Chains A and B, each alone.
Chain A
């Protein structure tokens, strides 16, 4: 892997791991908790957000030299709202059942801090290609986060995964998992797991760093 490829890979992986919007930055919690009652809802919301994220970051990056800083937030919101409207029409055209299931949370993508944050902190400062790669990584990270919640909540709360029954007719659903408290429980569980994993990795990296430091001194 050459330097350019490594940089592109790093740019993409940033949103999936180091700056995961759900598990690290804890952004966009409103749809994260509200729509993740099933895996299909979580996947659809993740894909919709990723589409808006990529398109708005691309346009913001393309227009970055002509957008004055005084009106940048207003401009970003107009751009984001445009792609949310496009997504809204697209979902209505694909499936009204899905559209009803996602409810107002499609329109609320406009105010998802993940998107405005990427436009302001990243896309407005880098080339269109870099902006799109970073946005794709962030979108994938957000989708993974939503899916992690959606699958657990659907399996325990409904006994199904993507609508397919897993445990048969005798399964007694754990209803609280598809209610708002279930969203908090599952999110808390995932955050705990993610934090524990990151800490363990840092601990494992520490002796290697010390050894490298000692070798340098010697």
Chain B
């Protein structure tokens, strides 16, 4: 049986795939919306820029003052293969950014630098303090961590663990091109050397991340900074 034929029309039928809105209208609308949205975003960026920069500066100062308690002001520097230069803008390739903490008299109280290593849940990022006089690490603070609450975050409160950082030995070797002894996290209760970190029982992976983060950052930074300490001894 034949299907009933549709009645013939004088005008040509519209193909089903033809868009009902002209292409130009769609482009015009998207252009209009994009312009409005662009203006809103740029306005918000300009309006919040100074407040965001100020917040970042305060957060950085707080972090440095926490690991170098005697510091009252900070200076930002790049450590490159050729020496130490004051930091400005983004870190250039191959350079390491670090912060010099100055006491109330403007004298160098310590150097703070970032270290990072893979922990249990994610990368553990820390800021540690290096004191040139004792050639040791005297403290660290957390920059970011997603470690298990109640377990991984013990690295900030466990007294035995924090005791590792009273004077953690990071002396350079005679050639001044690497640490004399690699900073290493050892199993809880087996620490025998001043460059070892006694891990927290039950949070060994996070403890190791702290040790690795300090070791890798110190191995890269200290051979570049130590020979040029005189250039950062006083606040510029």
Residues on A lying within 8 angstroms of B by beta carbon are 37, 59, 63, 66-71, 74-75, 78-79, 81-83, 85-86, 89-90, 92-93, 95-97, 100, 157, 173, 175, 178-179
Contacts and interface: CB of A to CB of B under 8 A. Distances in A.
B56 A70 contact: no
B41 interface: yes
Given A78-B34, A78-B37, A173-B150, A67 B29 contact: yes
Given A68-B29, A78-B33, 16 more contacts: A63-B29, A66-B32, A70-B21, A71-B26, A82-B40, A89-B48, A90-B48, A92-B52, A95-B55, A173-B150, A175-B149, A175-B150, A175-B151, A178-B150, A179-B148, A179-B149
Grouping DSSP codes into helix (H, G, I), strand (E, B) and loop, the A interface class, with mixed when no group exceeds half, is helix
Interface string B3-23: 000000000000000011100
Nearest to A176: B150
A81 B37 CA distance: 9
A75 B48 CA distance: 25
Contact of A69 (B21, B40, B149): B21
* Residue from B29, B33, B144, B148 whose CB has the most chain A CB atoms within 10 Å: B33
The 3 closest A-B pairs by CB, nearest first: A93-B51, A175-B150, A82-B37
A189 to B, nearest CB: 20
A63 B30 CA distance: 11
A186 B29 CA distance: 44
A70 B26 contact: yes
Contacts of B151: 175
Contacts, number: 71
Contacts of A79: 33, 37
Given A71-B26, A75-B29, A100-B144, A93 B52 contact: yes
Grouping DSSP codes into helix (H, G, I), strand (E, B) and loop, the B interface class, with mixed when no group exceeds half, is helix
Contacts of A67: 29, 33
A66 B29 contact: yes
A37 B34 CA distance: 36
8 contacts: A37-B149, A63-B29, A66-B32, A68-B21, A68-B29, A71-B26, A89-B52, A96-B55
Contacts of A70: 19-21, 26
Contact of B29 (A71, A93, A100, A179): A71
Nearest to A86: B44
Contacts of B37: 78-79, 81-82
Nearest to A89: B48
B44 A63 contact: no
B157 interface: no
Contact of B56 (A90, A96, A175): A96
B92 to A, nearest CB: 25
Contacts of B144: 100
A75 B21 CA distance: 15
B25 interface: yes
A81 to B, nearest CB: 8
Contacts of A100: 144
Interface string B25-58: 1100110111011001100110110011001100
